[in-house]
Amino acid sequence: MSVDSYVDHLESAVRYALLTTRAIAVCPFHPDVTIRIGDDAAESQACARAKNIIKSDGTKWEREALTAEVKRQLADAADGECPQCAQLRDSMPEVRARRPL
């Protein structure tokens, strides 16, 4: 994927930075679920990377706008694991069957 296709949308630029530094990941089973890995180093690296993304008009994103968007996307992401996968795992029939009657 090319960086060029992301640069003119703040949301996409930040998402790109977060994904490529592995600060966030997309659930392999639920593409609409974003998971926050919880890696502080990756998150600050993502901020640094986002600051270096240049828009097609040659300017960079404002630091305040970037920081706010990074925070928003991290807050929106699920913590550590996909909630849908966790729910599925907890309701697996094999697990239920092993419980004493």
Q: What are the residues binding Zn ion (CB under 5 A)?
A: 27, 29-30, 82, 84-85
Q: Cβ of residue 73: shortest distance to Zn ion, in angstroms?
A: 18
48/86 with CB nearer Zn ion: 86
Q: Which residues contact 42 (CB under 8 A, 6 or more apart)?
A: 21, 22, 23
62/79 with CB nearer Zn ion: 79
Structure tokens belonging to residue 56: 């097609």
Q: Cβ of residue 45: shortest distance to Zn ion, in angstroms?
A: 25
Query: What amino acid occupies position 101?
Result: L
d(CA 27, CA 43): 18
28/100 with CB nearer Zn ion: 28
Q: Cβ of residue 47: shortest distance to Zn ion, in angstroms?
A: 26
Measured in whole angstroms, the distance separating CA 44 from the mean position of its chain's CA atoms is 13
